[in-house]
Amino acid sequence: MSLTGKVYSLRRRLVALLVGVVASLWVASAIVAFQTAHGEADGLFDAQLVQVAETLLAIVVAGDASQIAHEMAEHQHAYQLPVAFQAWTRGKDGDWELLVRSAEMPEQLVSREKGFDEHDLEGRLWRFYAVDHDHGTYRVIVGQNHEARYRLAGEIALHMLVPILIGLPLMALGIWAVVGRALRPVAEVAAALGGLDARRLVRVTVPGPMPGEIAPLVRSLDALVERVGSVMENERRFTADAAHELRTPLAALKIQAQVAARSPDEAVRSHALTQVLSGVERMNHLVEQLLTLARLDPEAGLKADQRVELRGVAERVCVSLQREALGHGQTLEIDAPLPLWVAGNAWWLEVLVRNLVDNALRYSPAGGRVRVLVDASTGLLRVEDDGPGIPEEARAQMLTRFARGGEVDSDGCGLGLSIVARIAEILGARLTLRSGQCHSRGSVGLVVEVHFPVAGGNP
């Protein structure tokens, strides 16, 4: 896996996201709390205005208006907003006459309506409350500057936000530590993978409990390690087997070449050279089979998305091997009355048919018979011979590389059936081996059947 994108720290990203979310929630909570507190404060301050106005009106009605300023200063609490006031009385002509006012109030009547009222006074927003005596003789007006209310609400919000500002760094440190501890298994998995020996792959072992979010990753890595280990083991075994198979004919070739070079007898030299040519032919066949296997493995992941006519492939193979069959006095027959279209790859199918027919010819005796059947109705390819056959208990082993029958005298290299099995697996076909009472010779014989998924009828 290549890292093509930007690499980032999961720990830092989680901490940033968590701190950002918590801070946003805190700020939203502070705003809501501030608005709620501001509404509650407005209600309390309005109640204060009503109370102060009623008290001042009682003092004015009692005829002691000169004591209003002294009473207001004496009873003003530190937690109360300052209250400005006016006290009026109605004169003989019916107009209002000012009795007393605070320094913030002008000498004009600031509110002509009873109850609450809001309007600008000298460029600033005020909230007033006016109350009259029952007989309409006296009026008291009290007011508060809205700036004082906003200032008090701002102080409340600041007191609420200060703990948040102090707590955020501490919370970030706590989240950093917690996230780091939660991500420790990821580092342990990385360390376990880094410690794997390329020469001996084993399952990933992580000490301690494993989080459920990481367990699927570890299981997938274990499955990958197991597959890679299996492939490497197969390749090691294949390399060892191939080296062994190549070493034996090379040694024989060397001996025969030395005999031909040193012998003065022309007949002996001719026989040695004939053996050299036979060995070279066997080596050529072995190398071709090894190259076929090497080509199959990289292409194993390709899709068999072509439509191939199998009858034509089988006919071409039989024609190309007819001369070899005649040279051994063998009979090669093909029975393919109808074309068979299968999903596959033309090269793979030709290799498959050629290996089956070539194996049948190699292991059949001189004068033997090999029959190839292509059945379009069932998607079947069958190759029969009258050779010694394969015991049932040994058939599975014969599908592996370099496997040959122990009692069979043949120049085969033991790769033909393994190539057929590999191609059948790639094409999704089913391969079966069975014995058959073959022909006129009364031998056991071998029947190889390949059942293909049919791609469709005749075009």
- Report the candidate in 101, 82, 94 with the shortest Cα–Cα distance to residue 140: 101
**Cα distances (angstroms) measured from residue 66 to each of 102, 138, 315:** 12, 15, 131
E-assigned strand segments in 175-289: none
Note the pLDDT tens digit of each residue in 36-60: 777 777 788 888 888 888 888 888 8
- Is the confidence at residue 405, as pLDDT, over 60? no
Note the pLDDT tens digit of each residue in 345-355: 777 788 888 88
CA distance 6 to 207: 30
Q: Rg for the chain (alpha carbons), in Å?
A: 51
Note the pLDDT tens digit of each residue in 213-256: 777 877 887 788 777 777 777 677 666 656 655 665 677 778 87
- Give the H/E segment covering residue 131: strand 124-132
CB 336 within 8 A of CB 314: yes
Amino acid at 374: V
- Give the H/E segment covering residue 358: helix 346-363
User: Which one of 23-27, 152-156, 302-306 scores highest in mean pLDDT?
Assistant: 23-27
State the CATH class of domain 215-294. mainly alpha
- Is the confidence at residue 364, as pLDDT, over 80? yes
> What is the DSSP secondary structure assignment for residue 79, as one 8-state letter?
T
Neighbours of 340 (CB within 10 A): 25
The confidence band for 459, taking pLDDT boundaries of 50, 70 and 90, is very low
The confidence band for 334, taking pLDDT boundaries of 50, 70 and 90, is very high
Average pLDDT, the chain: 76
Instruction: Report the predicted TM-score, pTM, of the whole model to 2 decimal places.
Output: 0.46
Note the pLDDT tens digit of each residue in 70-100: 666 555 554 456 788 888 888 777 788 888 8
The confidence band for 373, taking pLDDT boundaries of 50, 70 and 90, is very high
- 143-177 burial: b if 16+ Cβ within 10 Å, else e: bbbeeebeebbeebbeebeeeeeeeeeebbeebbe
Domain residue extents for the chain: 10-171, 215-294, 300-456
Neighbours of 445 (CB within 10 A): 26
CB 314 within 8 A of CB 374: yes
Q: What number of CA atoms fall less than 13 Å from residue 6's CA on the CB side?
A: 3
CA distance 84 to 92: 27
- Is the confidence at residue 131, as pLDDT, over 80? yes
pLDDT of residue 58: 83
**What architecture is domain 300-456?**
2-Layer Sandwich (3.30)
Please enumerate in sequence order all residues whose Cβ is within 8 A of that of 185, keeping only pairs 6 or more positions apart, or say none.
206, 208, 210, 211, 214
Q: What number of CA atoms fall less than 13 Å from residue 37's CA on the CB side?
A: 18
Find the mean pLDDT for residues 273-300. 66
Question: Residue 453, Cα to own-chain centre: how many angstroms?
Answer: 33
pLDDT of residue 1: 47
Place of tokens 């292991």: 363
Find the mean pLDDT for residues 91-120. 82
